[in-house]
Amino acid sequence: MSSWSVTPVTRLEGRIRVPGDKSVSHRTLMLGAIAEGTTTADGFLASEDCLATLKALAALGVKIDRPTATSVRIEGVGLRGLRGTTAALDMGNAGTAMRLFMGLLSGQSFDATLIGDSSLMRRPMERAAAPLRLMGASIETREGKPPVVIRGGRDLMGIDFDMPVASAQVKSAVMLAGLYARGSTRVTEPAPTRDHTERMLQGFGVDVRREGATVSVHAPAKLAGCHVDIPADFSSAAFFMVAGCLATAGELHLERVGMNPTRTGLLEILLAMGANIEVRDLRTAGPEPTADLIVRPSRLRGIEVRPDWVPLAIDEFPVFFIAAACAEGESLLRGAEELRVKESDRLTVMSAGLTALGVAHELLPDGMRLTGARGEDPVFQSGRIDSHGDHRIAMSFAVASLRATGPIEIDDTANVATSFPGFADLARACGLQLREVT
């Protein structure tokens, strides 16, 4: 088992660019595959999750080259050009890939089976399967979980779908199926979620329309190959944003971070907590805006997270809990029950880790209440954390070391490579004292 030992430091500094955006990398591969012509991309995230998507598309007959470690060239086969395979398509640990492939493959002429690693095989898939069945798709799960079996040759119809729970992955699955459905497919969100799919479909030439909370796509559609400049992943930058705030000296420059407004909920939360973060050189060319972030040591205040921020920061809440534990006063998060069905039950696992490090808090069914510390004194005791193979849990507790009394040992860290390959090296380059242990 891979583990980390992270020793407290006070200074973080440097100029870094975190890897490319995972959500955009997944979608670039999928849309490029069903486009006509060639799609190229720079900034591709060569993580295990994204490579699982690449391998699955290659198994379906798509030629994808990687001229460099962070670039791809996709020879599109057109909307109807994918070809079936008798082998199951292995999504690894990538829940995004599995749910989006459910939509993409619902309108194909062939059968397909989606599987994943032990963690993904325990995750719920019915939230995406249910609306796809309403469109006419034939999808089978095993008690709501993978393997997911999709029967081909179905005639899909567009639907008007009111999402009961805000989910960018479900919205994206329905919209991808809508490319193969007769008529219009409309999805209405109860709250704003990531809009990468809408933005990227437009970039590939698809007529996507938004009216208020409703987004629609009309088939037949045709995608044209294009160039995609993939920004640095905001979710990966989030760990360094919080780390830079918790340090007592130094300054971190995070370059070309994706600033899609449906992703930057944690930035809004940290600014409301008093974080000293400067947004510089905002660039809006292309579908995804980017900016440089300058992060300085900050004295944080507790906050009650607004309901409209929750879907915009859902992946960043593990590291938010670390920031909240170091903030003066009470912090409260509610309405985040989706955290229980991520790579782990992130509420329970974060609660166990906070308990192991001596942080008083109250675990709630849909969130957490924490009372933070005063000043710059250490908040976390030295201790050992079980990350349960969840990359965001592991990286969050590595950040906690900045305000710890002694080393924090973090077990089961191999899955960090699913979203952030090279995290340990980049963290060390900024000054974090992280040692990898096997």
- Residue 298, token pair as written in the block: 């900050």
Q: In this structure, are residues 50 and 26 in contact, taking their beta carbons and an 8 Å threshold?
A: yes
Active site includes 390? no
CA dihedral in degrees (326, 320, 235, 352; nearest 10)? 100
Long-range contacts of 209-214 (CB under 8 A, 24+ apart): 213/188, 213/189, 214/186, 214/187, 214/188, 214/189
- Residue 221, token pair as written in the block: 């559609």
> Measured between alpha carbons, how far is 217 from 196 in angstroms, rounded to an integer?
14
Paired with 435 in beta bridges are 5
CB burial string 134-171: b at 16+ within 10 A, e below: ebbbebebeeeebbbbbeeebebebbebebeebbbbbb
Name the E strands within 11-81: 14-16, 36-42, 63-68, 71-77
> Measured between alpha carbons, how far is 408 from 406 in angstroms, rounded to an integer?
7
For the sheet with 112-115, list strands across it. 89-90, 112-115, 145-151, 138-142
Q: Is 321 helix (H, G, I), strand (E, B) or coil?
A: helix
DSSP 265: H
Helix (H) or strand (E) holding 433: strand 433-437
Q: Is 203 helix (H, G, I), strand (E, B) or coil?
A: helix
Taking the CA atoms of 114, 115, 121 and 123 in sequence, report the sign of the dihedral they define: negative
**Catalytic option among 315, 386, 390, 412:** 315
- Would you please indicate which residues are annotated as catalytic (active-site) residues? 315
